Structure 1
Amino acid sequence: MEIIKTIKPGDDGSKRYHDKYGEQLCAVRYRRSPCKKTVYTTVEIIVAQREAYQKNQSKRIDTTHPPHTSEWVAVKVAYDEAELRAAVRRMGGRWSNRAKAWVVKRSMATRRNISHRIVEGLIDECLDIDI
């Protein structure tokens, strides 16, 4: 559908929707159907709010409690260990070019008996991986 017009909260044409949805209202839009015979009025509202996660936030390890098995960790695998690299890739590992390490869940590293290859704290440098 083609957007004909977008109205911000507080502008003319948004008052009745602002009365209904209050501060949750983000926008009022008028859309035209593909056949151009119908015009639809839509509203964009906020349904949830949370603090945004930022990639550059440091992920500190709490040494007072055992590590969580669902947390991401960096694992070092040598280049000539092609079979092991393929196994890490199969378990969902992602290569961090920045840290030159594989990123996997701690539980997967433990299950595959490569937990001795985990480099604690190196995950903080894996900012090029979306985890």
Structure 2
Amino acid sequence: MMSEMKFTKDHEWLLINGSQATVGITEFAQEQLGDVVFVELPEVGSEYDQGDEVAVIESVKAAGEIVAPLAGTVVDVNEELADNPELVNESPLQDGWFVKIQLKDGVDLSELMTEEQYKEFTAD
């Protein structure tokens, strides 16, 4: 199955591959945050509903949370971020990912945006 990139109104991206989604924040979000200095990740095995706080991100400007874009269980976390939180700034769409989530059966992807829709959403 092909991977599919989707975006949320919370400025998160999801790389959906079958029933798994890798989650991170967008270029736009990392630019707004400024230099990321700390990331707190969840435990593998944690279960979340859509909208639950999954991770905490702190930058020189602000602290914020990463929310679960879809319901599911965390199956992997990006351990690299503990020592190198700047990866979120340097490579937000690749090396700076936060978690991988095994999606609950039947999750609704319809609220997620395509890259095109996200660009329009952030164009204002």
Interval containing the TM-score (normalised by the shorter chain): under 0.3
Normalised TM-score (structure 1): 0.20
Q: Which is helix-richer, 1 or 2?
A: 1
Structure having the higher Rg: 1
Normalised TM-score (structure 2): 0.20
Q: Which is strand-richer, 1 or 2?
A: 2
